[in-house]
Amino acid sequence: MAAPTYLILPSLDGGEAIVATPSGAGYDTTRVAVTQLAALTVSDSILILPGQVVRIYETDLPKAGRAQQLKMARFAREDDIANGADDLHFALTDEQPPHLAVIDTDVMDRLMETLGGLRPKAAYADYDLLLGDRALHVIDRAVEPGRAALDLDWTDEALTRVSDIELAALFAQGVEAGRGVNLLQGDYRVRSNVDVPRPTLIRFAALAASAAVALFIWNGVQARAASTQAKDLRAQTAADYLSATGERAPANPGRTAAQAVKSGPDVPTGFLDLSAVLFSGLAEFDDMRVDQLRYNAQDGVLRLRLIYPSFDAAARAEAAMAKAGGTLTTGGVREQDGAFVGEATLSLEAAS
């Protein structure tokens, strides 16, 4: 997976942000006026916020679902927060017991407005990612690792200055080490995305194209409407199969695509072949959806994040995909923001 671009922001009053783009083993950096950030063409970015606008607390919460822990954390810190809870955005780490981050919703809204169509995949407070006992000079503020960020005129401490490239590397180390609270949760969480490179070779393109379109329709409309759409697209798939091969479509075109790929000498599994299997499997459900989907051309697999209706639904999904002609390998299921989320991979290589 490609390294992200880091957008290190100045204070909310304006100024220049540091844009750190991955280059080799390090980063290339430039400074861009905050007002110009929305014009950037960056698809994979991480936002570093000035720590003055974010408060982070340790908690001693019992293990529970994420939604329940968030409610308990807000109640536990009510006396420490001057603003009303309705004016604040809260975020938790995945670790147990979690850390709680608090930021004004007005600040988050202003940030999203400033970024325009640019949507980072994560956002962290600067001090929350750093380690060490050196206070750093970051653009227009003093950052004490793990503690706080202050305006420059609020401290007389001698600050360590590092280059923009070194600064980007320090933040990247923190993210890679799993430190920090990602603020993009709840109303600001990253929405579904698809990062799919074009496959080098696609077999049964006409057959699988219909299935791929159906997959995205399934992910974007109500379940009942998608079920109706599925029936129509199955009929279209059969017609495409007949047109492409001169033969009537088999009862399970997804399995046929899988077997065709397996029988070929050096034919990699294509995205559309896998999409056909995925769609066929999902057609059995009206309570399961794909939240994220990525195609790995090198391994020939789809990497998925699935939203399940319950903790035990992963086993049903595995059986459905096997019936459709693929192998779904699921991981653990966790509760996140009131939903049951789990990562999985879909392949054809072990299908029978």
Long-range Cβ contacts of 235-241 (<8 Å, 24+ apart): 236/210, 237/207, 237/210, 237/211, 237/276, 240/206, 240/207, 240/209, 240/210, 241/204, 241/206, 241/207
pLDDT at position 20, please? 96
For residue 4, cis peptide bond before it (omega within 30 degrees of 0): no
pLDDT at position 81, please? 63
Architecture category of domain 195-347 in CATH: 2-Layer Sandwich (3.30)
Where in the chain do CATH 3.30.1360.100 domains reside? Answer: 195-347
Q: 113-137, pLDDT tens digit by residue?
A: 999 888 899 999 999 999 999 999 9
Q: 21-71, pLDDT tens digit by residue?
A: 999 889 999 999 999 999 998 888 999 999 999 999 888 777 777 777 777
Q: Is the dihedral of CA 203, 208, 209, 212 positive or negative?
A: negative
pLDDT at position 183, please? 95
CB-based contact 127:51 (threshold 8 Å): yes
267-280: burial string, b at 16+ Cβ within 10 Å, e else = bbbbbbbbbbbbbb
Low-confidence ranges of the chain (pLDDT < 50): 192-209, 214, 217-219, 221-226, 229, 244, 257-258, 260-269, 351-352
Compute, in degrees rounded to 10, the torsion defined by CA atoms 338, 340, 341, 346.
-150
Where in the chain do CATH 3.30.420.380 domains reside? Answer: 5-188
pLDDT at position 53, please? 93
CATH number of the structural domain 5-188: 3.30.420.380
Q: What global pTM score does this model have?
A: 0.55
DSSP assigned state of 37: G
